[in-house]
Structure 1
Amino acid sequence: MTAVIDPIRDRAGLERKLATTSYHVDPGRPHIRIIDPDVCLQCQRKQCVNCCPAACYTLQPDGHVLFSYEGCVECGTCRIVCYEFHNIEWHYPRGGFGVQYRYG
């Protein structure tokens, strides 16, 4: 009997699909940023770290959250889950930049 893998929780499968995605990074002009990194120290849940499907948010040992926009899939999840502090500034990238999906 073969084990059935839940596609929602299959992190390795998600990473394989994300690897086929191409990004046109707009150097020096991120479309998402953490407004005040010190505000993240007050957040207990760190939902951006836990909810980002592309793992763009990384929790640092000192409690700060590091964000790397270069692999962002532009889903907007971080903006939604940061409802307590509203500490994410998000806008669409300029035309010609951002994510280009290769896997349907």
Structure 2
Amino acid sequence: MVWVAERHQQAANHHREFLGGNAPFDRIPFFWTQHYGTRYDYLGHPEKWDQIDLIGSLEEKNFIALYGLKEQLVAVVATGRERTTGQLMLEMQQHHLSMEQARRVVHNTAHA
């Protein structure tokens, strides 16, 4: 698995804290991995969720799964949707997204 970008962000934050800075880790955790030639992207790190919206096709390896808790987006798993996961990551870092807002991002980036 590849966690390089997230690990670099965490390491930088730990170094800031060690040097006296008090900067919380405010980025959305993410990683991507490749299994048998298929790339999977993951955003978030929820302790729990109460909803999963699956958009696309598992069989065709082109899907996005939106994980929600109380109608708020808490995580994303996807393959074949790099543009969409990138946009969701940007928006998740700026503000909390409702599940409806996340579905709109998926719809708007699927045809872009």
**TM-score normalized with structure 1 length:** 0.26
- Structure number with the bigger relative contact order (C-alpha 8 A, sep ≥ 6) is 1
Higher strand fraction (1 or 2): 2
**TM-score normalized with structure 2 length:** 0.25
Higher helix fraction (1 or 2): 2
